[in-house]
Homo-oligomer: A and B are copies of this chain.
Amino acid sequence: MATPTTSASEPQERGASLSHRIYDQIREGIIRGHYPQGSRLAEQRLAQELDVSRVPLREAVPLLAVDGFVRTLPRRGAVVTTWTIDMAHELFDLRLCMEVGAARFAARQVGLGTSVAPLRVILDRSRDGVSTGDAYRIATDSTEFHEAVVALTGNSLMRSAMRSVTGRMMWLFYLTSDLNADDALDGHAELLRAIESGNERVAESVAYAHIERDRDESMRVLAAGPGLSLPHPAPPTIT
């Protein structure tokens, strides 16, 4: 976004319309596992927990639904999405469509004179982030790198379309950040070089390989232990 100064833990608390702020807040809560998968998000409880009225929530929750973080049932409200192996596969297939194309367009832009400096900046920041060991920070940085690749294409529509994807990506990154932190860093560096070369076919291929490698690692984690992100000792899991 236009606010690259966001720190990982505290998102922009500026004038960005309360609805957007609590959107970010809830999203972070979901990703961090504070709102466990499958749990219900009761509006009143959320409202007094975040100290806002219910109306801003009414704007934020549908957006969370669009981005796949919750599912709204007719009269039951919103429940946090539960990850499945199939969902993860679908995500990687979609990434295959979008990011491979984005890498190609990005390489083309580089060939036309666009600088890859933004990628370097984020990659450097990612290195710092990995050393901190903060999973949320790592997931944020990793996601931002991919967003930066898309941004490099100069296609603002593609950027906004990616937003529906990057949210889920970040969530999955967080869930699997234990393993692929360093690998992802190398992969990003490799992708950066490929895009920098300006060779569309190379960028395309590297992006493809990178995503498939991601898929393999994520699948290994997901298949191993689906007991993910449950900091609370698994409250009764209200159906």
Contact = CB atoms under 8 A, between A and B. Distances in A.
B55 A93 contact: no
A66 interface: yes
19 contacts: A17-B74, A55-B55, A59-B62, A63-B66, A87-B157, A90-B156, A90-B157, A93-B101, A93-B157, A93-B158, A94-B155, A97-B97, A97-B98, A97-B101, A97-B102, A98-B101, A98-B161, A157-B168, A161-B161
Interface in A130-186: 153, 155-158, 160-161, 164-165, 168
A6 to B, nearest CB: 19
A91 interface: yes
A151 to B, nearest CB: 13
Counting contact residues on chain A (CB < 8 A from B), the size range is: 20 to 34
Interface of A: 15, 17, 19, 55, 58-59, 62-63, 66, 68, 74, 87, 90-91, 93-94, 96-98, 100-102, 105, 153, 155-158, 160-161, 164-165, 168
Work out how many copies of this chain go into the complex: 2
Q: Which of A63, A93, A98, A164 counts the most B-chain CB atoms under 10 A from its CB?
A: A93
A157 B94 contact: yes
